[in-house]
């Protein structure tokens, strides 16, 4: 009887595998066989036939990278980005799954808007996808139902820096939201009342160097302190996004009982005033990039276990929009395509280990968000895989950026470490900087949600 060949066998790579002790990852030489979208076999030497063999000697095979914070702007703001261009950028950067934010137009705050996004992604997304639901004053009562919708990555609260209904600046509404439902809630933590009081600083300065002065440390710390108090009062776990201050890390280090923490490559790579000297409004984002002491403290928090997740906070705007005089210029920078190369460069520079980086973008997002069947190189798991060449030296260039905005704040930056293949659901979708099999992404499933 003939044996059905594997769909793909990846040969000879160093694989990031679950540690047999049950904690963390280890690097180990192995072959990986893929069949019907799943990892079928992991072994030191797979000799069975395969329809395709990827010779990956000298490369590293990672579980598929998950970017758990992106803004792809569809619907309503598609002149900046849409689900097709955003997911194209993702797979070119080695990212196999994205969780997309709700501050679109209209906001993703109703069942209708949520299912509209799922329908828009169908047949257009190049990587796997899930969507957050936005919380506001007008949908508090429906959030427990909305968080259980199929392919919902969770509830997102903007305590600052949002518009319209997606802004929860007061403690009373925040407590109402946290009292209902049970999944971890995702938080943009800045004190909106303080931001309004201090807006004159930005207006009077008319210079992006004032961005971290306006949105100062106290704006972040006061918000996060309030959040943790209410989270503990209600017993609701929270996930604090893009933490930008050393002072917050001091607080969050002692809050692991209730809070998980995300940081961005931007806050690990750039610092003030240099970034504003070089990039002006193209370095402007919320919360802002701050002085080097904050970057150093964020690195310390990443290494000591305070930080759980690295996300990109991919938030593209057109050049025309970014060229407006500050503070009329919008906050946000693209990042989904550069997350992996930037962090691999930090690995090569000795800032963190490869296993630590991979934990922060695979197994930890799975734990924080309750992702099903992803995040590990394990037999039976979805065959979402990122292959990287740790020795490849490249220069990040605007011409490589697939995002509709067409630029990156890291243009001209030399890095060592680059994604060579992105495998989504057992399909090679990116190979050597080219999307070779488009539109194969599928919606992500989560524990505690309905399945279609």
- Return phi, psi of residue 32, to 5°: -130, 125
In the set 7, 67, 82, 313, the catalytic residue is 313
145 part of the active site: no
What single-letter DSSP state applies at residue 105? S
Chain centre to alpha carbon of residue 2: 44
In whole angstroms, give the CA distance from residue 88 to residue 74.
14
- Contact between 62 and 358 under an 8 Å Cβ cutoff? The reply is yes
Stated length of the chain: 452
In whole angstroms, give the CA distance from residue 220 to residue 435.
39
3-state helix, strand, coil in the chain (%, to 5): 30, 25, 45
Three-state DSSP class for 279? helix
Scanning 206-273, the segments in alpha helix (DSSP H) are 211-214, 217-234, 246-252, 265-269
| Count of CA atoms in the C-beta half-sphere (13 A) of 374 | 35
DSSP track, 113-143: HHHHHHHHHTTT-SSEEEEEEEP-TTSGGGH
- Return phi, psi of residue 145, to 5°: -75, -40
Sign of the C-alpha dihedral computed for residues 225, 230, 233 and 239 taken in this order: negative
Three-state DSSP class for 41? strand
Give the DSSP H or E segment for 243.
none
Active site residues: 313
């Amino acid at each position: 009887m003939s044996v059905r060949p594997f769909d793909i066998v990846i040969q000879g790579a160093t694989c990031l595998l679950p540690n047999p002790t049950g904690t963390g990852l280890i690097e180990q030489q192995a072959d990986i066989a893929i069949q019907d979208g799943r990892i079928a076999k992991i072994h030191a030497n797979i000799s069975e036939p395969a329809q395709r063999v990827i010779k990956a000697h000298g490369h590293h095979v990672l579980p598929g990278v998950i970017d758990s914070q992106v803004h792809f702007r569809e619907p309503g703001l598609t002149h900046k980005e849409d689900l097709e261009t955003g997911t194209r950028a993702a797979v070119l950067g080695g990212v196999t799954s994205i969780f997309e934010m709700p501050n679109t137009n209209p906001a993703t705050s109703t069942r209708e808007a949520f299912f509209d996004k799922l329908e828009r992604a169908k047949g257009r997304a190049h990587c796997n996808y899930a969507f957050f639901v936005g919380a506001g004053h007008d949908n508090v009562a429906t959030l427990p139902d909305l968080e259980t919708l199929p392919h919902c990555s969770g509830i997102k609260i903007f305590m600052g820096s949002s518009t319209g209904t997606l802004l929860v600046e007061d403690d009373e509404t925040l407590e109402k939201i946290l009292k209902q439902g049970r999944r971890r809630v995702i938080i943009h933590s800045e004190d909106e009342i303080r931001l309004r009081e201090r807006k004159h600083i930005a207006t009077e300065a008319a210079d992006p160097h004032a961005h971290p002065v306006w949105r100062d440390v106290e704006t972040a710390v006061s918000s996060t302190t309030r959040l943790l108090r209410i989270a503990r009062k209600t017993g609701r776990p929270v996930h604090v996004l893009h933490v930008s201050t050393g002072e917050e890390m001091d607080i969050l280090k002692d809050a692991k009982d209730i809070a998980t923490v995300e940081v961005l490559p931007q806050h690990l790579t750039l610092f003030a005033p240099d970034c504003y000297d070089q990039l002006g409004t193209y370095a402007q984002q919320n919360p802002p990039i701050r002085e080097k002491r904050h970057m150093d403290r964020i690195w310390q928090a990443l290494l000591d276990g305070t930080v759980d997740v690295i996300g990109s906070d991919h938030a593209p705007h057109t050049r025309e929009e970014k060229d407006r005089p500050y503070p009329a210029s919008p906050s946000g920078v693209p990042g989904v395509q550069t997350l992996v190369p930037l962090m691999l460069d930090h690995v090569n520079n000795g800032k963190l280990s490869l296993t630590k980086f991979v934990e922060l973008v695979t197994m930890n997002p799975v734990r924080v968000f309750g992702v099903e069947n992803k995040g590990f190189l394990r037999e039976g798991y979805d065959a979402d895989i990122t292959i990287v060449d740790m020795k490849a030296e490249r220069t990040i260039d605007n011409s490589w950026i697939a995002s509709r905005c067409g630029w990156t704040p890291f243009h001209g930056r030399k890095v060592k470490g680059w994604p060579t293949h992105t495998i989504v659901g057992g399909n090679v979708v990116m190979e050597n900087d080219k999307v070779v099999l488009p539109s194969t992404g599928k919606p992500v499933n989560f524990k505690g949600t309905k399945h279609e």
